[in-house]
Amino acid sequence: MDLEKTILRRVGEAIARFRMIREGDRVAVGVSGGKDSLTLLEALLLLQKRAPIHFTVCAFTIEQGKFLRPIEPVGAYLRERGVDWTYVEDRPSVKLLTEQPDHGCDLCSRFRRRAVYEVARKLGANVIAFGHTADDFCESFLRNAMFTGRISALPASTWSSKREFRLIRPLVYVTEDLTRAFAHSLGAPVIPCGCSQKTGTVRRSLRDVLAELEKDHPFLKETLLAAMGKVETGRLLDTRFLDLDGCNEEAHSVTNPQEFVTLDR
């Protein structure tokens, strides 16, 4: 498999399907120091050269005090490649970690969101790209269904609350086995985040369950992603979408199972 070609095709498919990037956009990529965001940045830089539209790409990293090693090698790597990279230490986040070391993801994400918007504003960006992968979408989908009682995952493309930024996740169709291999092939320095080492979390359990099932069903994530794009509302329990008076043909249609998986294998 040509790794670069596969990743670019999947990223290109996501960008086109969800109209993630448009003429004249300035895209700020959140680089966390991990394999996923480095893959995303590289993919967008490559697509920028080939795309029929003009857009610019810059990168930023927010330090929240969670990197397990100094981030500088990532900076050196990006500068060497001519990437416009900005590093910001978010003091409130670092303070939060010192004062409340056991704070949860909600608080951490809220602090990060504020810092991300601040830096994107300074960079003149109108689009912010995040490195969430197909694995993240699948885990989020299962976690929501099993632990919060909702059918939902992550938005592939959405807006910040005041529509100041378009928030995009172009790796929605890219699995982490691909980002791992791609980041390795680039020779990119990967800096782990302390949270990635956590055990005993729901996320970790779901990862393990998926990995176990994938031994017999290698295209499980592709199928889950296809399912997220093919909702049969008439076969769920949300009465807002049910045809209780029998007037809506579509609510009775049965989907051809072969339509479920559309991604290349």
Nearer to ligand SF4, 4 or 63 (CB): 63
- Provide the 3-class DSSP secondary structure of residue 28: strand
Q: Is 38 helix (H, G, I), strand (E, B) or coil?
A: helix
Report angle CA 77, 63, 99 to the nearest 5 degrees. 155
Residue closer to ligand SF4 (CB basis): 16 or 195 = 195
82 touches 56 (CB < 8 A) = no
Contact flag: residue 105 with ligand SF4 (CB under 6 A): yes
User: Using CB under 6 A, which residues numbered 57 to 76 contact ligand SF4?
Assistant: 66
Closest distance to ligand SF4 from the beta carbon of 134 (Å): 18
Q: How far is the CB of 210 from ligand SF4 (least distance, A)?
A: 18
DSSP3 helix / strand / coil % (the chain, rounded to 5): 50, 10, 40
The DSSP 8-state label assigned to residue 123 in this structure reads T
- Which listed range, 38-46, 72-80, 102-110, 230-238, lies at the site for ligand SF4 (CB under 6 A)? 102-110
CA distance 132 to 240: 30
Site for ligand SF4 in 146-175 (CB under 6 A): none
- One residue of 108, 154, 220, 261 binding ligand SF4 per CB under 6 A: 108
Span from 101-109, 130-138, 164-172, 215-223 in contact with ligand SF4 (CB under 6 A)? 101-109
How many Å from the N-terminal Cα to the C-terminal Cα in the chain?
9
Binding site for ligand SF4 (CB under 6 A): 66, 105, 108-109, 193, 195
